[in-house]
Structure 1
Amino acid sequence: MRIDLHAHSTASDGTDTPAELVRAAAAAGLDVVALTDHDTVAGHAEAIAAATAGLTVVPGMELSCRLDGIGMHMLAYLFDPEEPELARERELVRDDRTPRAQAMIAKLRGLGVDVTWEQVSRIAAGGSVGRPHIATALVELGVVPTVSDAFTPDWLADGGRAYAEKHELDPFEAVRLVKAAGGVTVFAHPAAVKRGRCVPESAIAELAAAGLDGIEVDHMDHDDATRARLRGLAGDLGLLVTGSSDYHGSRKTCRLGDYTTDPEVYGEITRRAAGAFPVPGAGGDTRA
């Protein structure tokens, strides 16, 4: 059983529509895929409708959080999307993405980069706008060779020359909100040092005590030594260990199913959830 619990569509900063992502997951031989767009559930209905027989879709989301000035992401699975407190907070985070992007564009223009809101908006194509869309614009303009190269102190990394803050949740509040909505929480790529500063392991222990369910260990931004260390930490703290591709379509080099989650861990996630349920495909939308 092949399970990928972290993937993005055009509802946020991926390049595949939710339906295209689901079809790609089936073509990649996955049995389960989670749609975890940033701060939105807008793609869930389309993904579920497109699920083909043999593929299960897990409704999820990746919440933007910040702890002591350090950005981090919290994966949320199988929560009630209508729970009002969580819905209100995710909308605050999502709605602040546009003014934040406009502020970063202004900073880039001040640095001599001829990027425009119209260009970034075109790239986002109606999705929840984020830094990867601005990074794609920098690639189009020849400023950087790849999207990853835009996430440096020179450009869009946390604290970088063109960085701007947005509304983000305290991770302890994120855990509380998701749990209150019947969901399960997993700290995404907790040691992805290439993205910038990471929260200390002491903070992960505090989050575990506050109800965090797991950490994403097997991820393209963790080397072998980091995975081994995180797996040991998860064992010490009683946390679930997940593995996922963090697929963004053509915007990143990772492929669906590059890293996967153990079926027993997936089973435990579904047992803990009370807000929503995985949706097995029943034929789905097979249009090309």
Structure 2
Amino acid sequence: MTIIVIGKSGQLAWELAQLSTPSQAIVCLGRDDVDLQNVSALVNILKQYDAEGVINASAYTAVDKAESDIENAYLLNTKAVGHIAQACKHLDVPFVHISTDFVFHGDKGLPYSPGDAINPLGVYGMSKAQGEQLIADIYPQRSAIIRTSWVYSTHGNNFVKTMLNLMATKPELGVISDQIGTPTYAKGLAKACIASITQQVIGVHHYTDTGVASWFDFAVAIQNIALELGLLDKKIAIKPITTAQYPTPAKRPHYSVLDKASFINALPELSLMHWQEQLTHMMTALKNEREA
């Protein structure tokens, strides 16, 4: 079985590549390998690899930059998604697309279910929401949309690695405490994507690790685990701040915890872990990489 991953440089694509086996090859294709704005090119490359499933791990994820780089955000998060859906439909192969908690406004105050009304706050969320709609319009028969949040990995740039760098160089940090969600280790998300292809899950679902956190909670946990593992040698003060104290070009949902019940029902064999447990796994792997 060959599964094609659209995306090569991102942290999810990297984690997916680590799951490749002789019996289940996972091939990651980057922008130099395929033109996402050309449906015929997509069809041809999927045929070339005799693809039996496609996972779209590519996205324009620079949330603040998207507010001014609108055209490029929509090219990758909307138009390209529609083209991938068309190619998959042409070849009748299952398609898994990764979306985001940013399609929600963040004012519900309870975990969002897949069927809840979407109401994005900015260009990133709107472009991702329109990508979802194209899949629903073009190829609902064999497509799964998996919304996730706060993704991190040992690979690439993410909140965990940024915090570790700042904690090693700054005397103190202020971290936002009034945005609530759930961190997600990309390694677990990658396994969920593969399971969705092999079990032919369809529809809109949510996947994150379990539990709830603010960015402040997340940062405190990162420091505590890093000190235990020896990734940091000193403790610094981490102070909670409000969103208003740290203005950004893009608005972010204040509460975007995702309800995972439908995904657990679709894949009961999938074991979910608390975000702090997954964070420990990731940071242990990071330590091992640095020591290797």
Q: TM-score range by the shorter chain?
A: under 0.3
Q: Which has the bigger relative contact order, CA under 8 A and spacing at least 6?
A: 1
TM-score computed with the length of structure 1 as normaliser: 0.28
Bigger radius of gyration: 2
TM-score computed with the length of structure 2 as normaliser: 0.28
